[in-house]
A and B are shown apart, each in its own frame.
Chain A
């Protein structure tokens, strides 16, 4: 097995990656089939939406962005959160986190694929998307924040796909990756991660038309919630890897991530409190959206149960993670992470986007909840993201394991 490492090229790398992805236990095959089913549900939903137009959704001239953009916003945070592994692993040379940094990067790639898909399915005229491509189209750069977002998201996708691809490819050939080839890009990607989420916040923050969004805390708050929810999702993926593969994750790693998550979650809650104080201490005309979100306006209160659920489970999750009862056994770790993720997903998704648009600038108040087509497409995009993560992670971990074992023999 080890003798032919020198003759291994890019072609056999790709071939092996595909073969490893297709082979596996019955459970794995069932899991892949499930993902394909999810994606097919999405394709079905998109087929309907493509024929009917966006009237297949529950969006309207008042709530002109809905479930898709909500999920997009949340997932940009998940993508950005890879930096919480990259920074300690590469800059502070943390050995434990170095072992899992690749998993963080793969989750970021999956999240970015989902982000782009959500933006794409939200377009009224997807066939005209080439109008955005510089050279053949007209990108309104630097004036439009949406054009910034397109650039930074694509750049971040490239960084997070190519850096690990290079490292894994080197390990596949049994070589040590050359630091000066990839380290500069690692440093760029750290700044870039902050950029993708700040720019996404600026997308909303830069709109004086929407007082609920036109808030200078939004950028920092996006980062705080991202650095809580993102590593929490990475933790869940690590848990799956730990129990489903022979790539074992040390308890120490979970503990380190837990501390990162708690710190970010507490900062996020502080900022939430600051926002709530501003809206409710002396409510103005501009607080209407917050009132709509937290208490409902004129009988329209579809978001009220959601936001209170979000805040409750957000608090509960943070408290459990902070005090970590049962210590090393960590029985509560995964449930607490799920609570935190769902809480932030609601609060930063539909709890942020919809109240930004309601009341409309002409004072109209309506309820919004996603239509079936929106749910189908969202499920499909989620399936696509999980599929991408699986397809990238499985070969990467096999290669890493082989490399680790063979290097263990040498020393």
Chain B
């Protein structure tokens, strides 16, 4: 009921904003519309109006990127009354991110799942999760045979655990499928989505052999006090209904040299993340010294996500 009422009010203010923006005309809108003398909502509307016409992220100049970021930050203040910081840091030279998962160590606590949900502002209403952890019986090696919905004390006798998420393929089928180039692989190997450019056709979802992508079927909801405010344009910033999203190796953290939220949260140290091009990195140590394997190698997708056994 309450949220219904809120929705209605939002709609009304939106329409009011639309009307007044139409009256003040395109001049104010294109001039950036500081909106001091207007209604607060009409300023937000003007910003949303400009956002609607913005270009694909990769085609924006530096100034255009700055402008859209400042619009988005302003909108967060106006619409949600929060101050967010949206980063646009690009990939660094000589960095290619990779991930390894220690099947022996994982005990299925799912701390990684929770940390990911909180870090990446995932929709609490539909319970969206980028990471799935499967409980597997011994003798299996593919998560599609495991149980992804277990709900009991872990670890369970005679079982082991496997986490899956977007594998950031070097040859990603999703990128090939997207009709608007709204998803692509960055130079540092992270497969990202330009949320605002996505039209929500879900062809990428059909193309992904690892079930790595999530769609916003409803308007996503995150309690205001739980929103992570350090954001990245291609990462954990606000999404709306109809957009595709996915794991970005916590681009807002990894691009600053930090570990992803899932790695940091893992209580057993089963998760390894790092730069594949750095010979001294932990991930390189794992690849060189452990027996590693990847899922569905026969598809030729070349995922940058390895499983290994101690």
Partner-B contacts on A (CB < 8 A): 52-55, 57, 59-61, 64-65, 119, 122-129, 131-132, 137-140, 143-147, 150, 203-204, 207-210, 356-357, 359-364
Contact B126 A55 (CB under 8 A): yes
* Contact residues in A for B198 (Cβ distance below 8 Å): 124-125, 128
* Contact residues in B for A360 (Cβ distance below 8 Å): 144, 211
Q: Does B15 contact A (CB under 8 A)?
A: no
The residue on A at minimum CB distance from B11 is A51
From A53, A139, A146, B242 is in contact (CB under 8 Å) with A53
From B144, B178, B180, B206, A65 is in contact (CB under 8 Å) with B206
> Bound complex: CA of A361 vs CA of B173, how far in Å?
14
Provide the main secondary structure of the chain A interface: loop
Query: Which among A57, A139, A143, A361 has the greatest number of chain B C-beta atoms within 10 A?
Result: A361
Give how many A-B residue pairs fall within 8 Å (CB-CB). Answer: 137
Q: Does B143 contact A (CB under 8 A)?
A: yes
Contact B202 A64 (CB under 8 A): yes
* Contact residues in A for B145 (Cβ distance below 8 Å): 363
> Bound complex: CA of A123 vs CA of B204, how far in Å?
13
Over the window 52-72 of chain B, the binary record of Cβ atoms lying under 8 Å from chain A Cβ atoms (1 yes, 0 no) is: 100010010000000000000
From B52, B209, B217, A361 is in contact (CB under 8 Å) with B209
Contact B164 A132 (CB under 8 A): no
Q: In the assembled complex, how far is the CB of residue B2 from the closest CB belonging to chain A, in whole angstroms? A: 17
From B142, B180, B299, A140 is in contact (CB under 8 Å) with B180
A-B contact pairs, 8 of them (CB 8 A): A65-B202, A124-B242, A124-B243, A125-B242, A128-B200, A131-B56, A132-B199, A363-B146
From A54, A144, A204, A208, B179 is in contact (CB under 8 Å) with A144
Q: In the assembled complex, how far is the CB of residue B281 from the closest CB belonging to chain A, in whole angstroms? A: 29
* Contact residues in A for B164 (Cβ distance below 8 Å): 362
* Contact residues in A for B96 (Cβ distance below 8 Å): none
> Bound complex: CA of A119 vs CA of B211, how far in Å?
22
* Contact residues in B for A127 (Cβ distance below 8 Å): 52
Q: Does B210 contact A (CB under 8 A)?
A: yes
Q: Does B251 contact A (CB under 8 A)?
A: no
* Contact residues in B for A128 (Cβ distance below 8 Å): 196-200
Q: In the assembled complex, how far is the CB of residue A157 from the closest CB belonging to chain B, in whole angstroms? A: 18
The residue on A at minimum CB distance from B58 is A138
Q: Does B22 contact A (CB under 8 A)?
A: no
From B142, B179, B181, B211, A150 is in contact (CB under 8 Å) with B179
Q: In the assembled complex, how far is the CB of residue A269 from the closest CB belonging to chain B, in whole angstroms? A: 27
> Bound complex: CA of A65 vs CA of B242, how far in Å?
13
* Contact residues in B for A210 (Cβ distance below 8 Å): 206
> Bound complex: CA of A180 vs CA of B182, how far in Å?
43
Q: In the assembled complex, how far is the CB of residue B131 from the closest CB belonging to chain A, in whole angstroms? A: 12
Q: In the assembled complex, how far is the CB of residue B188 from the closest CB belonging to chain A, in whole angstroms? A: 22
From A123, A132, A357, B206 is in contact (CB under 8 Å) with A357
